[in-house]
Amino acid sequence: MRILLTGAAGFLGSHLTRKLLDNGHSVIGLDDLSTGNLGNLEFASSNSDFTFVEHDIREPFFTPVDGILNFACPASPKHYQSDPVRTIETNFLGIINMLHLAKQTGARLLQASTSEVYGDPIESPQRESYWGNVNPIGIRSCYDEGKRAAETLCFDYKRQYGLDTRVNRIFNTYGPNMSQDDGRVVSNFIVQALQNKPITIYGDGLQTRSFCYVSDLVDAIYLTFMYPNPLSYPINIGNPREFTMLQLAEEVIGISNSKSILKFEDLPEDDPKQRCPDISQARELLGWEPKVFLREGIEKTTQYFSNNLNR
């Protein structure tokens, strides 16, 4: 297939680029490089099946394609809160432009959504049928509500125009190619530990997350995109094993042989207390579930950051 991948130079986008190329597809990678890094795509620079285009998807884009994977948007609170208007525009205008392209070309489209659509959930684990508990005017809403609006548009275009649109709700993911200043908890903890700096714990550290290693997540995205039949509902992808922030910090300190101590700070506004996916649909429909345990994934990610910090 000839596939357009937006956000190609980002953390997930770069891993998806490799996955698509390895499976014989031709990839056009779009990125405005606001948070993406061309170094993440160095492996593809000499591949004749890969073309990179610097482009902001808030503006229309046209090229003949068979498939579209829309991954263009900063995903860490630090980055998406730094320019909230740009964030919600990227989500809203970006998906409109990609849906217009899909309508023009007849392409299949997969939208990268997020567990953030569940907000600060009052039920756990979160099933796709759960409507969420989102603050529509909070500091995180530029991302949360932007992704919710993008999902709405995908299913409206499916109903009104018959487009083949698919949605993955992505839970916490980590691995190589994350930025050192990404702002998400795994990268924060690992970089602080490697530098023997205090590890920042927000709140009491008992809030939970479910961490999925990037190779597992990319496999699930690819299976969703290549599924032979249209999908009429979103699919959660993530690791259903829950860990507290304190457990994660202890794991990182142990693996990195760090002398770091824990430093507690106030919990940010609207920060969810619990996040855990119900992946029943992914198991039943895609035959997928995560394979990489937390310790193995943290070891690989720590090695990546150690190499980059040393460089």
> Annotated catalytic sites, by residue?
143
Query: Does residue 90 contact residue 72 with C-beta atoms inside 8 Å?
Result: yes
Enclosing H/E stretch for 207: none
Quote the tokens at residue 224.
């969703």
Query: Does residue 156 contact residue 281 with C-beta atoms inside 8 Å?
Result: no
Query: Does residue 70 contact residue 110 with C-beta atoms inside 8 Å?
Result: yes
* Spatial separation of the C-alpha atoms in residues 288 and 188, rounded to whole Å: 29
Alpha carbon of 123 to those of 84, 96, 133, 274: distances in Å?
A: 28, 31, 9, 9
Query: Does residue 101 contact residue 70 with C-beta atoms inside 8 Å?
Result: no
Written as one letter, the residue type at 136 is P
Query: Does residue 234 contact residue 169 with C-beta atoms inside 8 Å?
Result: yes
Using omega within 30 degrees of 0 as the cis cutoff, is the peptide bond preceding 125 cis? yes
**Segments of 115-189 assigned E as strands:** 165-170, 173-174
- Taking the alpha carbons at both ends of the chain, their separation in whole angstroms is 37
Give the list of residues 6+ apart from residue 260 with CB closer than 8 angstroms, or none.
192, 193, 196, 197, 198, 199, 253
